[in-house]
Chains A and B, each alone.
Chain A
Amino acid sequence: MLLPISAMLVLPLAAERSNETAKLRIAASQYEIISVLMKNQEYSRVPDEFRKILDLNLSTENEKPLVQATFQVVDGLRQAGQYSTATQIADEALNKLKLSESKYFLMMAKGKVLKDQGRFQEAIEIYRKAQAFAPSGLAPEK
């Protein structure tokens, strides 16, 4: 009697977890593809491949690796001078992510891109906005 009940409770959770794991595996693969594209300087293909990660709709539980990946990609594009692609990816990720902490890191990444572009006032503005989403560990700086 207890076995079917516990199975009913545990199985959906397990299925959900395995689904999320599968998504993470796909995201990891996509990240590898993006890394290769960046190494080969095929920057124009990066947004499409990155969008596939965003379309996986990872749970908020797994937003941290997504933010880290986005930051890495945006920063890599910035260093390569691909400012518009970097801004595009940062904006798409900002629209998709839900946690305020995530927004903070991505805004900082975007601020770096804007600063490198010479758009200083916009960079400062986004930096100030980012402070509102700063994680509790990071004290807001005016």
Chain B
Amino acid sequence: MDGSCEPGTTRRVREHLDSCSSCLAFYREQLELNQILGSEALELNPPEYLWYRIESRMSQAKRESTSSAVLVKLFRFWRVPKLRYALVSSGLLLAASWSLLQYRADRAADQLLLARIDAYQMNVQGNPFLSVLDKPAPPDNPFIDLSPASSNPFESKGNLQ
């Protein structure tokens, strides 16, 4: 009808449309749709930033898919049951050994401290208060020497002769 067909075909279609109301209705519908699609109302003017947003989203999606692919590759072994059990059991064994070693080290350190406590002694002989009382008291006035006067220097001089 828009001239894309041969003239004979176009004529036969037009004759059919004159006699078939349902096809005529379909034709009108399509014609109307073509008019709308061809009109300027549908011409979109997207904003400039739209492409940048689309581009960034696309690159982000690409990155995410790449990193998840790496993770999947890394943990591919996890899908193997035997490997998984071996890994889990060795991990548990390591943790148990570490705890046991730590416990033994702590116990050894505790034993050492207890031995030190046990060995601690204070050497005290007799009544400790009496040992203080037996000490000569210092003079009340430090400038006064209360000790007995020394022998007469003149006497000692005399003895020398």
Q: Chain A interface (Cβ within 8 Å of chain B)?
A: 6, 9-10, 13-14, 17, 21, 24-25, 27-28, 31-32, 35, 62, 64-66, 68-69, 71-72, 75, 105, 108-109, 111-112, 115, 120-121, 123-124, 127-128, 141
Contacts and interface: CB of A to CB of B under 8 A. Distances in A.
A24 B133 contact: yes
A35 B126 CA distance: 10
A115 B117 contact: yes
B117 A25 contact: no
A108 B120 contact: yes
B114 A120 contact: yes
Given A21-B137, A31-B127, A127-B117, A65 B122 contact: no
Interface string B55-92: 00000000000000000000000000000000000000
Contacts of B133: 21, 24-25, 28
Main secondary structure of the interface of B (DSSP, over half): helix
Contacts of A6: 141
A141 B131 contact: no
A105 B123 CA distance: 12
Interface of B: 110, 113-114, 116-118, 120, 122, 124, 127-133, 137, 140-141
Nearest to A62: B132
Contacts of B124: 68-69, 71-72
A32 B117 contact: no
Contacts of B118: 112, 115
A13 B143 CA distance: 14
Nearest to B120: A108
Nearest to B121: A75
Given A13-B140, A21-B137, A124-B114, A31 B128 contact: yes
A9 B141 CA distance: 9
Contact of A112 (B117, B129, B130, B132): B117
Contacts of B116: 127, 141
A110 to B, nearest CB: 10
Contacts of B130: 28
A31 B117 contact: no
Given A13-B140, A14-B140, A32-B127, A65 B117 contact: no
11 contacts: A10-B141, A13-B140, A25-B133, A31-B127, A66-B129, A68-B128, A111-B120, A115-B114, A124-B113, A127-B116, A127-B117
B114 A10 contact: no
A62 B132 CA distance: 8
